[in-house]
Structures are given as C-alpha cells and as structure tokens.
Amino acid sequence: MSAKNESSYSKTIFLEDFNAYLAAAKVKDFREANIFANRIMSNAYLFDSKNYGLMGFVLKEIANDGTLVQQSKDSQLLTEFSKQTSKYLEKLSALANKDSTNLNELWEVFSDSLLMNRDSFMTKNEKVAYKKTNVEFSNQSIIKLLQILKENKNLITYPYNNLFKGFLNEIGRYVKNHGLSIQDAHMVTLFMMISRIDEYVKGTTLLQEFPDRAKKEILPSLEKVLIVAEKTATTKNEDGIDDLLWELIKKWRLYFLQFMEIQRGIPLREEKVVEEPTQSKLVDAIAKEIEKEVGTE
C-alpha cells in the first residue's frame, strides 16, 4: 500500500464513515450500520487502503449479525446484543483512532465478538447443552471440512452447487456451539468473502455460461484460499490471510460497481433461443396482414 494511496483515503474521512457507523449502531439500526461498513470498504478499495478495508470488513460482519438479531423482532435480545457489541465497538474505536491499525488487535476483537455473541444465536436448549467453548473440536472439524472442500473443489463449477454456503453453515454451528480460536476465526473470513463472490457470479450468469465463469472467476481464488486456510488450521500460521482477504474484498467491490446489488439465491437462468424468421416467412406474414386490411380472401 503506497503512502500516496493511504493518504488519499485519509484518517479524517475514514473516521467520518466510522462515526456514522457508530451512530447507527448506537440506536440499534444495524441495517444502516451495514451501509456505512460497505462505504468504508468501497472508499478503501478506491484508494487501495488495505487496513481500512479490513476494518470495514469486521464492522460489516458485526452489522450483519446485528441485522439478523434485529429481524428477530426480539427487543430484549436486540438490547443485549447491542450492549455486548458496544464493548467491541469501543475497542475498534480506540484502534481506529491510532496512527496505524494493528491488524492483530483487529482480529482479536473480531474473534472476541464471535465468542461473546454466541448466546444471541443459540436456542434455550443449546444454551443448556453448550455452556463451555471447545475451540479444539471446532479446529479439528474445520480441518475435516477443508479436506472435503479440497477433494471436491471442482463442484463449484456445477451451476446449482451450494458448497460455500454448506461450509459456512457448518462453521456457523461451530461458532455458535463451540466457539473458534482467533486463528480459525481469522481464516474463516476468507470463505465469507469468496462466498459473496460466488453469489455475484451466480446472480449474473446464464445457466450454460456458469461452468466457464466459475473456472475463471471462482476456482483460482478458491485454490489460493485452500492453501492459506489449511496452513492456518493445521499450524496456526496466519501469514497471507490479510493480503488474500483484501484481494477478495477488492474483487467483490468491483463486482458491486459492475452489477450493483443483486438478489441473493436466485436460480441461474436458461437462455431462451428465439428462432429468427426467415425472409420468406416474413414476406408471407406481411402479405397476409395486407390481405386482411384490404379484404382479400
């Protein structure tokens, strides 16, 4: 990240976006907070400001969770979530106001927010059964899932696959019931972002075109993600995650510029081939219409 690009999206402008996010979160409007998180990532993308972009990513994930709680119409649950979240936003605020962003601290806050907000997404019976975290079980389960993804990566070229959603669904269960280590929480962000890229490709592709686009636009990124993810899950080495996550974020924001918002989960469309009428058919059709107009049998 060059000094020139970093200064273009200055700390002053970033803090304006960030403070708008905080104001929305304070009144429990996480939908609007999500808009401001997207704004941070868009500005960071335009000026290639990786650290601000990653901060925007974390803010977006917190806002997404808040939006789910908001949609539950449970005011008590929303109040409790907001109370918990305010603690992490205070830490992020302190981090944002520093001269430079410490990414290790950023991911610590992200991991802590996942752990502390577990109760917001557990049922009553789950709260009774899963009182303690078990991040080692989650880690071993993730290693198994990564192996399945690696062995079946070519399935992403199948038009109706939901491989990323299935993976993230399992991860969500581990987060909720057992918790994740800081390293695994950090690594899983790669799948959160590549899933969004997958949605854009699916949402803007005809059925017969999808396999080729998936091979070109999704599979190369997935192969990179799997290499970094396996290393992190097995050795707790997080090198390479931030750079790759930033690469995926920039790709996602480019899709947004190209297609804007798309409807998620829409089925791929089959192209309807309309037979073009031949010249003789057109002449016959015109002749018949003229005959009708002049009353000729």
Summarize pLDDT for 95-147 with one digit per residue, the tens. Answer: 999 878 889 999 999 999 998 888 889 999 999 999 999 999 999 999 999 99
How far apart (Å, rounded) are the C-alpha atoms in residues 223 and 150?
8
The C-alpha R_g of the chain, in whole angstroms, comes to 24
Average pLDDT of the chain is 89
- The predicted structure's pLDDT at residue 10: 87
Phi and psi at 269, nearest 5°, equal: -95, 140
How far apart (Å, rounded) are the C-alpha atoms in residues 52 and 18?
10
Question: Cα–chain-centroid distance for residue 30?
Answer: 16
Instruction: Read off the pLDDT of each residue in 265-279 and give the average, rounded to a whole number.
Output: 60
Instruction: Read off the pLDDT of each residue in 148-167 and give the average, rounded to a whole number.
Output: 95
Q: Check residues 282 and 238 and name the one with the higher pLDDT.
A: 238
- The predicted structure's pLDDT at residue 9: 86
How far apart (Å, rounded) are the C-alpha atoms in residues 162 and 112?
28
What pTM, to 2 d.p., does this model score?
A: 0.87
- The predicted structure's pLDDT at residue 280: 59
Say how many CA atoms lie within 13 Å of 244 toward its Cβ.
Answer: 23
Whether residue 34 contacts residue 46, with contact meaning beta carbons closer than 8 Å, is answered with no
pLDDT at 173 > cutoff 70? yes
How far apart (Å, rounded) are the C-alpha atoms in residues 287 and 10?
70
DSSP 278: P
pLDDT at 293 > cutoff 90? no
pLDDT at 294 > cutoff 50? no
- The predicted structure's pLDDT at residue 285: 59
How far apart (Å, rounded) are the C-alpha atoms in residues 297 and 290?
11
How far apart (Å, rounded) are the C-alpha atoms in residues 241 and 277?
55
- Of the candidate ranges 117-131, 189-203, 230-244, the one whose mean pLDDT is the lowest: 117-131
- The predicted structure's pLDDT at residue 278: 54
pLDDT at 164 > cutoff 90? yes
